[in-house]
């Protein structure tokens, strides 16, 4: 008997990756080679469909990653909250144009019913007067020095147990600034 040839001239060369044409070629003995992965696609399809059904069932039952805490499903009505007590001494960083300075700020008066307040800021160019209103966690204010007036808004929050005011302001000439103030004492 003759030894088996190294290649078959009537067969296409094998492709790299994927499936080769050799899987479909007829061998000299007239039989196709066994295809060990022939049943793989239907099994993968069954697994994918089962996972999709399970995910859908969990979503409908609100279980697992689809669960929600009681109260999150319904949105409470928004009511105006009492203004926070922002009175006290603050350490603040104020940026305006291209300058940044540390400026002590003192909120001396606040009407706890309306949220109206007055404050002073010790800036490098003089004592600035700040007036505004705080409602809930939102503050609007004006800062005045001489004939110049800046208008701004800020958010009021608590960070590491300390009251914090963070906002922006601008003047009529286009100047813009930022303020970040942390209460140091009441």
- Please check whether residue 5 lies inside any domain of the structure: no
d(CA 177, CA 151): 10
Render pLDDT for 147-185 as a digit per residue (tens, 0 to 9): 999 999 999 999 888 999 999 999 988 899 999 999 999
106 plus 179 within the same structural domain: yes
Which pTM does this prediction carry? Answer: 0.56
Structural domain containing residue 180: 88-185
Domains held by the chain: number? 2
Domain boundary residue among 73, 99, 120? 73
- Please check whether residue 78 lies inside any domain of the structure: no
Contact between 102 and 75 under an 8 Å Cβ cutoff? The reply is no
95 plus 124 within the same structural domain: yes
Render pLDDT for 96-138 as a digit per residue (tens, 0 to 9): 888 899 999 999 999 999 999 999 999 998 999 999 999 999 9
Question: Would you mind telling me the total number of residues written for the chain in this entry?
Answer: 186
92 plus 169 within the same structural domain: yes
d(CA 106, CA 120): 5
d(CA 119, CA 133): 11
172 plus 142 within the same structural domain: yes
- Please check whether residue 23 lies inside any domain of the structure: no
């Amino acid at each position: 008997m003759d030894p088996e040839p190294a290649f078959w001239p009537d067969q296409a060369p094998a492709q790299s990756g994927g499936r080769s044409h050799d899987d479909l070629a007829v061998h000299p003995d007239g039989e196709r080679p066994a295809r060990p992965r022939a049943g793989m696609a239907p099994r993968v399809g069954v697994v994918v469909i089962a996972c999709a059904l399970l995910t859908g069932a969990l979503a409908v039952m609100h279980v697992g990653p689809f669960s929600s805490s009681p109260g999150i499903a319904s949105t409470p009505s928004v009511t105006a909250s009492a203004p926070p007590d922002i009175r006290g001494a603050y350490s603040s960083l104020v940026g305006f144009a291209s300058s940044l300075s540390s400026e002590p700020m003192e909120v001396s008066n606040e009407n706890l019913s309306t949220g109206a307040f007055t404050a002073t800021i010790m800036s490098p160019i003089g004592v600035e007067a700040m007036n505004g209103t705080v409602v809930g966690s939102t503050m609007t204010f004006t800062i005045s020095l001489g004939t110049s007036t800046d208008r701004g808004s800020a958010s009021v929050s608590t960070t590491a147990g300390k009251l914090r005011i963070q906002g922006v302001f601008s003047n009529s000439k286009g100047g813009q600034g930022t303020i970040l103030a942390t209460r140091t004492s009441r």
